[in-house]
Amino acid sequence: MTLVRYVLLLFLAIGAASQQLPAKREHFRNADVLYDWVRGSQGEKLRTFVTRPKNTIGKVPVIFFVGWLSCDSMEYADGETDGFGALMLRLIDESGYATVRMNKPGVGESQGSCPKTDFNTELEGWQATFESMDRYDFIDTRRVFVLGMSNGGGFAPLVAKGHSVRGYIAASSWGRSWYEHMLEHERRRLTAAAKPPAEINDGVKAFTQFYDLYLNHGMMPRQVIAQHPNWKGFWYDAPDGQYGRPAAFYQQLQLLNLGQVWQDVNAPVLVVYGTGDNVMSRSDSDAISETVNRVHPGAAQNYTVEHMNHLFEIDKKFYDPLVPEILTWIKERLAASPPSSTNLTERDTIL
């Protein structure tokens, strides 16, 4: 190899590496970040973020974060740019626990395409990340808490895939069928848009049939519109998907039986909901605690905050008491007996 060719290849390699590495990274006062990878079911490399409390001696509990529906990164190099980031960053810095996150396919440094990734593929990435916690000698896998935000809170128990978990936190989440969630969401959306009552009624009737064909019968939105042209005015998203994800993503969400998922949970559950949430409804959140408590009376608690929105904000400001509330709940669960013998009392706090 000539010197010129060697220098050229070295230059290209350095350039490729610089394109993959973000210009900025997160920094914490009380934790160090380990950047690692897991392999997804399609062979793609998925970026994981593992934080370790500074000056750690021995094994520590861990909070496993399960993210939302959108293709936004779980890395917050610019700090608290939204409420989801504020919640995670503060828990990382203030808890004294390890934490684990993952960027789904096609997000950040993760390989793949998020807009083309279906739910089952994404779930397998979460499961691989959960399994990867065994790599780290400072993580106590007997003291795992799973915190799911938005969509991630609904299917959070599936991420653990049968592994022991000391507690689940479902924040701004859902516990019913996706079909039920979307019908209620569409009514609230039309109402918030100040549509006349008659138009809201017509819209909900159309969406009842639209989502049945789309979610239950596997049709693309464009196919539904082609079959029912009079509904064209009601549809506001892509012809082959919704909210930046493919139609298959939501069809697979609809196939989930969250009643079964949550009734099989044998661990304490904290359900966080804000009455100002315009994405998930109170019924979406209550379905989780009601299911858990039907099988394990008192095992699920509701923490409800007046006026707090989907991103844990009130008047565009993160709701500060949320982090200490979650940490208190976790510490109480750690001090209690293991889940199989835990006997909790239900609490519903309205602030």
∠ CA 157-161-167 to the nearest 5 degrees? 40
Find the domain containing 198 and state its range.
Answer: 178-253
DSSP assigned state of 337 = -
Question: Residue 3: its pLDDT value, please?
Answer: 41
| Angstrom distances, CA of residue 267 to CA of 101, 143, 332 | 21, 11, 13
Question: Residue 292: its pLDDT value, please?
Answer: 98
Residues 314 and 337 in one domain: yes
pLDDT tens profile 252-296: 999 999 999 999 999 999 999 999 999 999 999 999 999 999 999
Q: Evaluate if residue 11 carries a pLDDT over 50.
A: no
Please check whether residue 342 lies inside any domain of the structure.
Answer: yes
C-alpha to C-alpha distance for 327 and 91, rounded to whole angstroms: 8
Confidence band for 185, pLDDT divided at 50, 70 and 90: very high
Question: Residue 20: its pLDDT value, please?
Answer: 53
Please check whether residue 225 lies inside any domain of the structure.
Answer: yes
pLDDT tens profile 117-175: 999 999 999 999 999 999 999 999 999 999 999 999 999 999 999 899 999 999 999 99
C-alpha to C-alpha distance for 171 and 148, rounded to whole angstroms: 6
Residues 199 and 80 in one domain: no
Q: Cβ-count burial of 107 within 10 angstroms (0-12 exposed, 13-18 middle, 19+ buried)?
A: buried
pTM reported for the whole predicted model: 0.90
Residue 338 sits in a domain whose CATH number is 3.40.50.1820
Q: How many of the other CB atoms lie within 10 Å of CB of 22?
A: 13
Confidence band for 23, pLDDT divided at 50, 70 and 90: low
Please check whether residue 12 lies inside any domain of the structure.
Answer: no
C-alpha to C-alpha distance for 167 and 148, rounded to whole angstroms: 11
Cβ 26 vs Cβ 99: under 8 Å? no
- How many domains does the structure of the chain reveal? 2
Compute the radius of gyration of the chain from its Cα atoms: 22
Q: Evaluate if residue 18 carries a pLDDT over 80.
A: no
| DSSP output for 176-194 | S-HHHHHHHHHHHHHHHTT
Mean pLDDT of all residues belonging to the chain: 91
Please check whether residue 26 lies inside any domain of the structure.
Answer: no
C-alpha to C-alpha distance for 343 and 325, rounded to whole angstroms: 20
Q: Where does a domain end: 253, 281, 308?
A: 253
